Amino acid sequence: MVYLHPVIKLEEWGKERGRVLLMGVLNVTPDSFFSSSRVLSPRLALEHARRMVEDGADILDVGGESTRPGSDPVGAEEELERVIPVIERIHSECNVVLSIDTTKAIVAREALDRGASVINDTSALRADPAMAAVVAARNAYVILMHMQGTPRTMQQAPDYVNVVEEVLAFLLERTRAAGAAGIPSERIFIDPGIGFGKRLEHNLALLRSIDRFAATGFPVAVGVSRKSFLGEILALPAEERLEGTLAVEAIAVARGADILRVHDVKEGRRAADTACLLRA
C-alpha cells in the first residue's frame, strides 16, 4: 500500500501560515555527530518524535546512515532495518510529515510505501540511478543537496573558485535532471549543503547568499544545526553550539530559507517565527 500524507502540500504549507517549515532531525544511527539526536529503537524514536511535533516540527527527517564528515556508508539492508520500523510507528501515531534521509532507491521506496512523503537526498539523485524514478513514481517531494565528495572524504580538501556560483549551478543542473525524470518542479527543494565539502569560508559565503538560492524559485532548505563550522567560530563542542545555531538559522530565514533542518525544535521554531518578520 502506498500512503499519501493527508495533511499538506509542502509548497503551500509555509505560505499559508506565514512561517518557515521546521524539519526535526531523527537519527536512527549509533554514530551521528550530535549524541542527543540519536534514537536507537522505535519506542524511543516515537517519544522523541512526539516531543518534536509538540515543539513545532512540521516534518521529521528519519535517517539510518550517518553523513557526518569521515563516516562510512552502511548497507541497504541495515539501513532498512533501522528506519522502516521507526517510520511505520511514527506514521501510525503522529500527524506529521515524514522525510527519509537516504541516497538509496530501495530505502526511499520502502519508506514512501510506509508513510514518508519526502526524500532528503544528500547526493541530489546521483548516488543511485534508480532514485529519480522512485521519487517520480510516488509523486514524492525531494530535497536536492550539494555535496563535494562523499561523507567519508568531503572535508579532506574542499576546493572552489567561487563557491556560491558553483553550488548554485550544480543545484540548477540537478533540478533540470529531476524534471527530466518526471519530478514536478513544485515538488523539488534545493539545499546548498552547509558543511558538506565546505571550509568555514565556503559555508559563510553560502549563508550570506541564501537570497541567491531563493531567487531560483525553488524552496530552499538549510541545515546548520550544531555543525562543526560553528565549532570553529565559537571553539565549542556540538553540545554547546545552540546559540550560534539559532543566530545562523535566523539569518538564513531572513534571507529567504524555507525549511530549517534542526535538532532543537522548540528554540528553532521561536527563532524562525521571529526571523520571518524580518524578511524584505
CATH of residue 190's domain is 3.20.20.20
Rg, Å, the chain Cα set: 17
Q: Is residue 13 part of a domain?
A: no
Q: Is residue 2 part of a domain?
A: no
- The Cα–Cα gap between 15 and 161 comes to 35
Q: How many structural domains is the chain composed of?
A: 1
- The Cα–Cα gap between 11 and 110 comes to 24
Candidate from 70-84, 89-103, 170-184 with smallest mean pLDDT? 70-84
Query: What are the residue numbers of the active site?
Result: 227, 261
pLDDT at 123 (0 to 100): 96
Distance from CA of residue 48 to its chain's centroid?
17
Q: Is residue 140 part of a domain?
A: yes
What percentage of residues in the chain have a pLDDT greater than 70?
86
Strand partners for 97 = 59
Sequence-separated (6 or more) residues with CB below 8 Å from residue 85: 42
Is the per-residue pLDDT at 143 higher than 70?
yes
17-35 mean pLDDT:
76
3-state helix, strand, coil in the chain (%, to 5): 45, 15, 40
92-111 mean pLDDT:
95
pLDDT band at 1 (very low <50, low <70, confident <90, very high): very low
Domain containing residue 145: 20-276
pLDDT at 42 (0 to 100): 83
134 SS3 class: helix
Q: Is residue 1 part of a domain?
A: no
Q: Is residue 82 part of a domain?
A: yes
- The Cα–Cα gap between 256 and 209 comes to 9
Q: Is residue 195 part of a domain?
A: yes
Q: Is residue 11 part of a domain?
A: no
Q: Is residue 10 part of a domain?
A: no
- The Cα–Cα gap between 168 and 164 comes to 6
CA proximity to 23, closest of 10, 7, 4, 5: 10
